[in-house]
Amino acid sequence: MVSRLPLEEKVLADLRPTQAEKDHVCGLAQRVLERIRQSGKADGMVVGSIARHTWVSGDRDLDIFMLFDPSLPREELETQGLALARSIASSFTENYHEKYAEHPYINATIDDVDVDLVPCYNVDSAERIQSAVDRTPFHTRYITEKINGLIDDVLLLKRFTKAGGIYGSDQMTEGFSGYLCELLILHYGGFTPLLAAAAEWKPQAIIDIENHVAKEFDEPLVMIDPVDPKRNVAAAVSVDRMAEFVELARGYLESPSALFFELPKDSPITRDDLTTLIDRRGTSLFAITFPTPPYIEEIVVPQLKRSTSAICEHLARNGFSVHHAHYRMEREECMILIELLVSELPAIRSHLGPPVWNRVNAEKFRSKYRDSSLPGPYIDNGRYETEVPREFRKAADLIKSEGMLQISLGKHVRQSLVNGWQVHEGRECWSPVFSSFIAGFFNRCSPFVRHEKESGNHNS
Amino acid sequence: MVSRLPLEEKVLADLRPTQAEKDHVCGLAQRVLERIRQSGKADGMVVGSIARHTWVSGDRDLDIFMLFDPSLPREELETQGLALARSIASSFTENYHEKYAEHPYINATIDDVDVDLVPCYNVDSAERIQSAVDRTPFHTRYITEKINGLIDDVLLLKRFTKAGGIYGSDQMTEGFSGYLCELLILHYGGFTPLLAAAAEWKPQAIIDIENHVAKEFDEPLVMIDPVDPKRNVAAAVSVDRMAEFVELARGYLESPSALFFELPKDSPITRDDLTTLIDRRGTSLFAITFPTPPYIEEIVVPQLKRSTSAICEHLARNGFSVHHAHYRMEREECMILIELLVSELPAIRSHLGPPVWNRVNAEKFRSKYRDSSLPGPYIDNGRYETEVPREFRKAADLIKSEGMLQISLGKHVRQSLVNGWQVHEGRECWSPVFSSFIAGFFNRCSPFVRHEKESGNHNS
């Protein structure tokens, strides 16, 4: 039915799970479901991409929900649900532990498969859900019913977005979730029609498959959840990830290539290459590092993002113009990396005062500064202004100073900084664990441009 | 009638012309008027501050207008008027020459007095004037009729504004003309009531003595001309000169002192002091010098002002942040002096492109920059951006480059620069003729603050 490019067929051959993989994962799923059934306490249901047959070969994420009676009080659900999950997991392996999203659940590694055992309520319509997890079975039912014939398209899209670095609704990626990929394929009827449509997307694009939107959304991309008219499935997609998808779509349609499905290579920078690079650029590089707060990525990464903005504003307020800044959370340490155009400034700066016409404030300002040995106060465009000594002549001194704790860092980032942080300069910013992050920092380009550069489609 | 502070009486004793001065100047005026009468071609009239008895001792500016019949054609007026003026001047001295304001006139030095002989039309009402000079006799008649009893107040105000550096409606000062000072005293009824009112002035203040305003004005201070309802006598007053007057008024009312009447001392800086100063400030100083265009100050100074703004914008566009800039016209040379916070920048800069949604422009931008070995194009906030090599890493190279001729300099400044200009850096900016200008550049403070600092009313 669908005419597929040979290169896409070739990619698909690698993406489709093999029969052995399917047997292995589905066999395990059956055994877990059987245990739930035997318990007599809940219904078992496989959800996620394995249930929907939209999983990519090599994925090993088996999500099994345990649906309890909605009359069970919330506390009971957590106690009984967790007890059941624990008992089932322990009957397979000792390698399991409790995790926490909106509610607690059990994560176990069984026969090389990463299994989540999640208790939820078995409600009879999506309007009756009591928490976000209750919605997942409805997603699975919706997709499973309709996705027939489009599974290969979903696999291509997942790989296409993953290769572009825009797959995942996590805080670091701010990209496209698996469910969003499935809905996009459903709505547009395939991979190629989706790309043709996306090539013309503009922010505030709204897709409403069931034509039942019941709320206003201000995110750049809006995909109304078919099972919940008040939910935007694409809420996590940032405007930049959306623009990158648009760009990839245009690029692929214009000249399709296997490169669009190749996962980005990890290409760390060496300390010596960093030294040469900084030297050639003539910029000043600073890294702020501190122990990673003991919380999950979904908590820490947004705080890192906010902290990075706050530090950039703190630098800018003090006259240091930030060229580029980015952040990275690793297991032990976080890094905020900042490239400045200028890292040293003169001893003086201008300080703006009130308009002369505002007599009370004007006289306060003048009498506060008239005794200074520096020029001023003088009048510029009807306002007082004066010169004052610059508090921080060196950017390094500023980001080493206590004032860092006064700016708007996230709660847990701040708690970590209270115990101290390190400031590295120039080549000293390099460390093995951040060497890929630093390489990416200096190799900024959009996913499509990266494909173009890697394909050698350039002159220099 | 008026109660005067002892310090004001003391100042006035120096400001009032002595009897010998009066006899000398008025005697000369009578002799010139007599010659005009004898010619039978025009009526003579003394105008300006000498006619109004508002001249300050030491002033030697005698303005004598020759009023011709309005039926005389304009060309005839210029020819006959200039011929008469020339013949009268030559009967006193050989030291005279032609000058040009709106029309040509003769300037002569007679018995140590600077005499202007200006032809104009003898119209019978101010509405019938044919050019600005025809208005002057009306100003003189208006003031002479009403100023009686307030002459000392005018003298105080003239000296007060001169000491504050804000007397003069020329392009360099952008301050208060003599006629404006007279009208302010008339309107408020004296020096002290004027200061009390001015202390509360705000921009767009309107004073309309004859209550006959016939036009909208957008200058910060508006004094409707009593003889012309469509003219703002205070049009030359900049918002900063106005604010400085407001500040001086408040300061004097609060603690009157003779300092407010002391003319600013000329205090040049030495080359060595400049070296020390730049070193201490940590800034970068540049001077651009070029031969002064062969035109009068009223033509050249506004062009210098515009050129200075244009050069600052040119620097800012190239990433060099200007801390302070000013200009000076001297007889032989002009100088534009610029203090930068930073004079060297990295090898790269960011270059903003179109939004990705604008497909045509986005693809143009991407294909233009994708071959670069620098990072980018990348997407930031939905727009393309890329790094490009910085054209000028050193501010000095930028202001030495030909691009200076492409920016919006005034016509005559540009003509002068076409033949080349010099760029000086650091202590090399110093030269004897600009040493006072440079001192003032680094000693910026408002007139009142200068009084405060000079009176030792400060701690350090």
Q: Say whether both A362 and A411 belong to one domain.
A: no
In angstroms, the CA A413 to CA A274 distance is: 27
Residue where one domain finishes, among candidates A235, A261, A287: A261
Q: Say whether both A328 and A384 belong to one domain.
A: no
Q: Say whether both B50 and B94 belong to one domain.
A: yes
Residues 6+ apart with CB under 8 A from A217: A206, A232, A235
In angstroms, the CA A84 to CA B113 distance is: 112
Residue of A nearest to B349 (CA): A323
Residues 222-281 of B with CB under 8 A from A: 239-240, 242-244, 246-247, 250, 280-281
Q: Domain total for chain B?
A: 4
Ordered alpha helix ranges (H), A6-131: 6-15, 19-39, 48-52, 74-92
CB-CB contact of B270 with B304 (8 Å): no
CB-CB contact of A177 with A185 (8 Å): no
Whether A180 is in a domain gets the answer yes
Q: Specify the pLDDT at position A329.
A: 97
pLDDT tens, position by position, A200-236: 999 999 999 999 999 999 999 999 999 999 999 999 9
Instruction: Provide, as residue numbers in chain B, all residues whose Cβ is less than 8 Å from the Cβ of A347.
Output: 280-282
Residue where one domain finishes, among candidates A243, A261, A279: A261
CB-CB contact of B242 with B201 (8 Å): yes
Q: Which of B166, B253, B344, B378 to mutate to test the interface with A (most CBs of A within 10 A)?
A: B378
The answer to whether residue B446 neighbours chain A at the CB level (below 8 Å) is yes
Give, rounded to a whole angstrom, the gap between the first and last alpha carbons of chain A.
43
Q: Do A459 and B371 touch (CB under 8 A)?
A: yes
Q: Say whether both B296 and B426 belong to one domain.
A: yes
Residue where one domain finishes, among candidates B106, B133, B160: B133
pLDDT tens, position by position, A309-366: 999 999 999 999 999 999 999 999 999 999 999 999 999 999 999 999 999 999 999 9
Whether B2 is in a domain gets the answer no
CB-CB contact of B153 with B144 (8 Å): no
Name the token pair of A420: 């101290």
Whether B52 is in a domain gets the answer yes
For residue B423, give the DSSP letter: E
In angstroms, the CA A33 to CA A61 distance is: 15
Query: Which residue's structure tokens are 């590694």?
Result: A109
Residues 365-384 of A with CB under 8 A from B: 366, 370-373, 375-382, 384
In angstroms, the CA B457 to CA B23 distance is: 43
Q: Do A356 and B319 touch (CB under 8 A)?
A: no
Residue of A nearest to B373 (CA): A460
Q: Say whether both B128 and B192 belong to one domain.
A: no
**Assign residue A453 a region: left if phi > 0, alpha if psi is -120 to 50, beta otherwise?**
alpha
Rounded to whole angstroms, the maximal C-alpha distance in chain B is 87
The CATH number of the domain where B45 resides is what? 3.30.460.10
Q: Residue B459: pLDDT above 60?
A: no
Least confident of A125-129, A146-150, A249-253, B293-297: A125-129
Whether A460 is in a domain gets the answer no
In angstroms, the CA A55 to CA A18 distance is: 11
**Could you give the count of Cα atoms lying within 13 Å of A381 in the half-sphere of its Cβ?**
2
Q: Say whether both A316 and A398 belong to one domain.
A: yes
pLDDT tens, position by position, B341-378: 999 999 999 999 999 999 999 999 999 999 899 999 99
Closest CA to B430 of B270, B283, B281, B276: B270
For residue A41, give the DSSP letter: S
Picking from B282, B376, B381, the nearest residue to A445 by CB comes out as B376
Q: Do A359 and B250 touch (CB under 8 A)?
A: yes
The CATH number of the domain where B310 resides is what? 3.30.70.590
Picking from B378, B381, B459, the nearest residue to A445 by CB comes out as B378
Taking each helix axis from N to C end, the angle separating A239-254 and B359-369, rounded to the nearest 10 degrees, works out to 80
Whether B312 is in a domain gets the answer yes
Q: Specify the pLDDT at position A203.
A: 96
Neighbouring-strand partners of residue B105: B99
pLDDT band for position A455 (50/70/90)?
confident
Q: Say whether both B169 and B21 belong to one domain.
A: no
Average pLDDT (A119-134) is 88
What ipTM does this complex have?
Answer: 0.91
The structure's pTM equals 0.88
Q: Say whether both B106 and B167 belong to one domain.
A: no
Q: Specify the pLDDT at position A277.
A: 97
pLDDT tens, position by position, B47-65: 999 999 999 999 889 999 9
Q: Residue A460: pLDDT above 60?
A: no
Q: Do B373 and A460 touch (CB under 8 A)?
A: yes
pLDDT band for position B131 (50/70/90)?
confident
| % of chain A at pLDDT higher than 70 | 98
Q: Say whether both B107 and B200 belong to one domain.
A: no
The backbone torsions φ and ψ at residue A70, rounded to the nearest 5 degrees and listed phi first, read -65, -10
Whether A266 is in a domain gets the answer no
Q: Say whether both A118 and A64 belong to one domain.
A: yes
Whether B142 is in a domain gets the answer no
Could you tell me the residue range of the domain that residue B352 belongs to? 348-389
The CATH number of the domain where B379 resides is what? 3.30.70
Q: What are the E-state strand segments in A343-382? A: 348-355, 378-380
CB-CB contact of B139 with B186 (8 Å): no
Instruction: Provide, as residue numbers in chain A, all residues whose Cβ is less than 8 Å from the Cβ of B359.
Output: 199-200, 250
Q: Do B370 and A443 touch (CB under 8 A)?
A: no
CB-CB contact of B246 with A382 (8 Å): no
Q: Residue A458: pLDDT above 60?
A: no
Which whole-number Å values give the CA distances from A170 to A244, A412, B38, in the listed order? 16, 18, 100
Q: Residue A153: pLDDT above 70?
A: yes
Give, rounded to a whole angstrom, the gap between the first and last alpha carbons of chain B.
43
Q: Residue B266: pLDDT above 80?
A: yes
Picking from B199, B240, B356, the nearest residue to A243 by CB comes out as B356
Residue of B nearest to A372 (CA): B460
The CATH number of the domain where A174 resides is what? 1.10.1410.30
Q: Do A457 and B357 touch (CB under 8 A)?
A: no
Which whole-number Å values give the CA distances from A383 to A13, A50, B203, B422, in the listed order? 71, 67, 12, 34
Mean pLDDT of all residues in chain A?
A: 94
Q: Specify the pLDDT at position B457.
A: 53
Q: Say whether both A120 and A28 belong to one domain.
A: yes
Q: Which of B449, B452, B457, B459 to mutate to test the interface with A (most CBs of A within 10 A)?
A: B449
Whether B458 is in a domain gets the answer no
Instruction: Provide, as residue numbers in chain A, all residues whose Cβ is less than 8 Å from the Cβ of B457.
Output: 370
Q: Say whether both B175 and B320 belong to one domain.
A: no
